[in-house]
Amino acid sequence: MKQPAAGASRAIFGIPAVLTASECTALIRDLTQLWCLTYNQELSDMDDDIEICRRFFDPLARGHSLRERLSQLPTTPAALLRSKRGEPLVVDTGEKTLIVGVEARILLALLDNLDLEDNYVVLPPRDVAAAESQALAVYQRWSRARLNQVIALRSGNGHEVMQAISVGLVMALLINRSDVPERAVVRWSSGTIEGKRVDTAIHAGAECFAGAISKSRSKRSAGEQRLKGGYALSEARRRLAHRIIVIPDQPDGGELLYIPEKYKSEVISFLGKDLARRPGLTQDLLSTALDQLVVEFRAVAGKLAHESMVFERSADTRTVMEKLIFEFVLARQGGE
């Protein structure tokens, strides 16, 4: 009888690294069956199977979704329940149901490469370490997914471009020269008369801009065209983060909304690069959209005049527009 080599690693995912051939065969059989029960499909490509494991093991999965998926699992056969294989290889979800995930798939790939003709099967320490590192790398990637997503959005490298209405709203703030607290737009609750006037004035130009550069978009409802809780500003703050300032608890009950002067160039560059990612947008079309934004903004600016919130100046507006177009052209040329 061939004995296992000395110094072999003691365990991998809770399973001994030294097994008899019959134990190894039973382990492969059980894990394969549990895989089919968990995911309702046969084993396939390793990378594809790892992604399928997100169904239950993604740290960003919503509780409601997990509950729904768990409720649809079939009951595990009694023979598998008696095998007493534990975590992290096999997870008991209750109600006589077991599931497997990343560790099981990696271990199956490792066992598939072994020679089962000998009485004993030894998992080489190097392979055990590689398998454990692979599992760790998967969970690290999944756990950092939200962080990486936020970083990508903040840097303008997200999968989707910034919504046109949000770009227009940021441009409206820049054109209004709301770059210091003294020239900030006051954000009131949308239910107040003041709030409705401000929401309408700021969103008017933004809607014109968005309609010009994105013909397929549907216009947001009046309920969504608000600075407090509205989609456009929420999306803009999600992308621009600390570059858009909101100072709450003002004496009049409102909140100050502005883009600090030190971030103006950075914001314009961000918008230019993001707009350059739109394949159908040309320099001429962008110029037209900006002109329409300014025309509409000025047309409704009177709604803010009596609130002392109109600070637009023609020379400054032209400078902002020229800088945005410059950044757009520069980014488009860099991507060609």
pLDDT (tens digit per residue) in 216-270? 655 554 445 667 667 888 889 988 989 999 998 777 667 899 999 999 999 999 9
pLDDT of residue 147: 81
Could you give the CA distance from residue 322 to residue 334 in angstroms, rounded to a whole number?
A: 18
Residue with tokens 């840097």: 155
Strands (E), 105-264: 120-122, 185-187, 245-247, 255-258
On the question of pLDDT at 64 being above 60, the answer is yes
**Strand, coil or helix: what is 237?**
helix
Rg of the Cα atoms in the chain? 29
Tokens representing residue 294 in the block: 């300014």
Output the CA angle 153-159-165, nearest 5 degrees.
Answer: 70
Cβ(59)–Cβ(143) below 8 Å? yes
Confirm if 104 and 90 have CB atoms less than 8 A apart: yes
pLDDT of residue 307: 61
**What residue has token string 């290889």?**
89
Distance CA 194, CA 2 (A): 86
**Residues above pLDDT 90, as percent of the chain:** 54
Band (pLDDT 50/70/90 cuts) for residue 37 is very high
Task: Give me the residue spans of the domains in the chain.
Answer: 11-143, 157-335
Look at the chain and count its residues.
Answer: 336
Dihedral (CA of 154, 158, 160, 161) sign: positive
The pTM assigned to this predicted structure is 0.61
User: Which DSSP category does 241 fall into?
Assistant: G
DSSP for residue 87: T
Cα dihedral angle (272, 275, 276, 279), rounded to 10 degrees?
Answer: -170
Q: Nearest CA to 106 among 49, 58, 61?
A: 49
Indicate the DSSP class of residue 326.
H
Residue pLDDT, tens place only, 281-332: 999 999 999 999 999 988 887 766 656 678 889 999 999 999 999 999 999 9
Q: What is the DSSP letter of 282?
A: -
- Cα 229 to Cα 234: distance, rounded to the nearest angstrom: 7
Q: Measured between alpha carbons, how far is 102 from 49 in angstroms, rounded to an integer? A: 8
The pair of structure tokens assigned to 168 is 């227009």
